């Protein structure tokens, strides 16, 4: 599954922005305040809207004046989000699913002004509309099945949602059987944001259980323990990689204590006694956290990572970029925001997008579309180097 394009209108700093041809590894750069985190917040918003409703999701993003705060300043239209997702639905070729959401305000309350889901079966022809709702009512297909060969055979039923701020993909039970909705739901529900904070990951957790590294990394020791017990080969790979990256480290051990806490111990080849996790360097913990995230036996369909370069030695960043790419190539997708030229030096031309502000709103530029940058890359330059030379026009402007 892969997000192929994102179109945003009136969503905070993105007054009208389209990202096309998004690669499996997508690297975002841009000055502070240009909207890198805001882009990630779109996925968070969709998840909140799906698990609760649009009103609550807007509230979480923008406080009590949710809609007004989230809508771009000085704009009047609805907030619009459109995702195009390439997903393998078990048929020949990957299908392109389009999900569009338009949120407006009615009598001071947020409502879903329009929600559509359409996709093409096969590579040709017009997309089939599976869902078309506005203001709480609309039409939805009830028999999307393998046996349906022609769009005319689809049975559409008029339906009404309990509330106009509920998403139809959530509110209508029949969708659970439809592969396209399942794919979309999986993406929205299981995307993951990693915003690792060293101070959170350092203290050992109370005994517990965790399979995935959390957003800020505070359950690191639990995940290590889980991998140690349940996925030994993965654990061994992580330790091997860590040994390569951090001079001196020869092994890592996750040990439950008598009080039921989990201690991480690092063995330095030069010394007999292992070092407790709380005494090893920030960089070591951070590298361990990323390896734990990237070698997850059950990877996230979409992984968003905020500034992975913090605390890491610059020469490690190329490897980290390669590892994000490998994760993405295994079938998932990774978005990374970064301020590091060293990280960017490992990037391919088509992997980089830069965000720049123009008259208060953000535009997103694909590096590939800049002829000058593309020409220099063809001559063997590196992305980070070109960025430092000031060739990403507009990126340094506020």
Partner 1 sequence: MTTLVFLLEEPSAKDALEGVLPKIIPRDVRVEYLLFEGKQDLEKRMARKIRGWLDKHSLFVVLRDQDNGDCQVIKQRLMERCGEGGRPETLVRIACRELESWFVGDWQAVGEAFNLPNLHKQSAKAIYRNPDKLGSSVTELRKFIPTYQKRDGARRIGHHLDVERNRSRSFQVFVQGLNRLLAEQGAA
Q: Give the footprint of partner 1 on this chain (CB under 8 A).
A: 244, 315, 318-319, 322-323, 325-326, 329-330, 341, 345-346, 376, 378-382, 384-385
Helix (H, G, I), strand (E, B) or coil at 20: coil
Q: Which is nearer to partner 1, 155 or 375 (CB)?
A: 375
Between residues 215 and 382, which has the closer beta carbon with respect to partner 1?
382
User: For residues 108 and 380, which CB has a smaller minimum distance to partner 1 in the complex?
Assistant: 380
For the bound state, the minimum distance from the C-beta of residue 299 to partner 1, rounded and expressed in Å, comes to 13
Give me the least distance between CB of 382 and partner 1, in Å please: 4
Q: Say what angle helices 220-230 and 232-245 make with each other, to 10 degrees.
A: 120
Q: Which is nearer to partner 1, 11 or 327 (CB)?
A: 327
Give the nearest distance from C-beta 130 to partner 1 in angstroms: 33
Residues 274-286 as b/e (b if ≥16 CB within 10 A, e otherwise) read bbebeebbebbbb
Residue nearer to partner 1 on the CB measure, 16 or 381: 381
For 39-83, give the secondary structure using H, E and C.
Answer: HHHHHHHHHHHHHCCHHHHHHHHHHHHHHHHHECCCCCCCEEEEE
Min CB(142)–partner 1 separation in Å: 40
- Shortest spacing between CB 20 and partner 1, in angstroms: 24
Which residues make Cβ contacts (< 8 Å) with residue 63, sequence separation at least 6?
69
For residue 258, what is the DSSP state? T
Residue that has been written with the tokens 């610059």 in this structure: 314
Shortest Å, Cβ 231 to partner 1: 19
Q: For 238-262, give one letter per residue: b (16+ CB within 10 A) or e.
A: bbebbbebbeebeebebeeeeeeeb
Task: Tell me whether residue 153 or residue 236 sits nearer to partner 1 (CB atom).
Answer: 236
Residue 147's CB is within 10 A of a number of other CB atoms, namely: 7
**Which has the closest alpha carbon to 384: 339, 328, 319, 323?**
339
């Amino acid at each position: 599954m892969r997000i192929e394009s994102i179109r945003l209108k009136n969503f905070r700093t993105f007054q009208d922005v389209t990202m096309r041809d998004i690669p499996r590894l997508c690297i975002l750069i841009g000055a502070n305040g240009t909207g890198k985190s805001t882009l990630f917040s779109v996925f968070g918003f969709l998840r909140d809207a799906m698990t609760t409703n649009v009103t609550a999701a807007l509230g979480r993003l923008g406080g009590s004046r949710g809609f007004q705060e989230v809508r771009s300043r000085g704009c009047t239209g609805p907030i619009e989000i459109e995702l195009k997702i390439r997903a393998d639905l078990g048929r020949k070729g990957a299908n392109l699913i389009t999900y569009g959401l338009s949120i407006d305000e009615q009598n001071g309350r947020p409502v879903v002004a329009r929600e559509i889901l359409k996709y093409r079966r096969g590579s040709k022809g017009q997309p089939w509309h599976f869902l078309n709702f506005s203001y709480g009512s609309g039409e939805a297909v009830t028999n999307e099945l393998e046996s349906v060969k022609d769009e005319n055979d689809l049975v559409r039923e008029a339906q009404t949602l309990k509330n106009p701020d509920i998403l139809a993909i959530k509110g209508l039970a029949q969708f659970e059987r439809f592969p396209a909705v399942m794919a979309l739901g999986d993406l929205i529900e299981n995307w993951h944001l990693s915003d690792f904070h060293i101070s959170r990951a350092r203290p050992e957790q109370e005994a517990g259980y965790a399979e995935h590294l959390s957003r800020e990394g505070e359950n690191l020791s639990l995940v290590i323990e889980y991998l140690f017990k349940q996925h030994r080969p993965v654990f061994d790979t992580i330790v091997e990689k860590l040994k390569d990256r951090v001079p001196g480290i020869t092994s890592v051990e996750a040990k439950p204590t008598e009080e039921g806490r989990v201690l991480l111990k690092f063995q330095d080849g030069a010394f007999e006694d292992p070092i407790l996790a709380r005494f090893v360097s920030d960089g070591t913990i951070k590298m361990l956290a990323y390896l734990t995230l990237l070698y997850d036996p059950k990877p996230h369909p979409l992984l968003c990572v905020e500034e992975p370069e913090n605390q890491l030695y610059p020469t490690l960043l190329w490897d980290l970029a390669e590892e994000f790419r490998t994760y993405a190539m295994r079938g998932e997708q990774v978005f990374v925001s970064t301020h590091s030229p060293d990280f960017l030096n490992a990037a391919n031309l088509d992997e980089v997008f830069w965000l720049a502000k123009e008259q208060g709103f953000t535009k997103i530029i694909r590096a590939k579309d800049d002829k000058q940058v593309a020409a220099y890359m063809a001559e063997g330059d590196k992305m980070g180097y070109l960025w430092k030379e000031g060739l990403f026009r507009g990126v340094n402007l506020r």
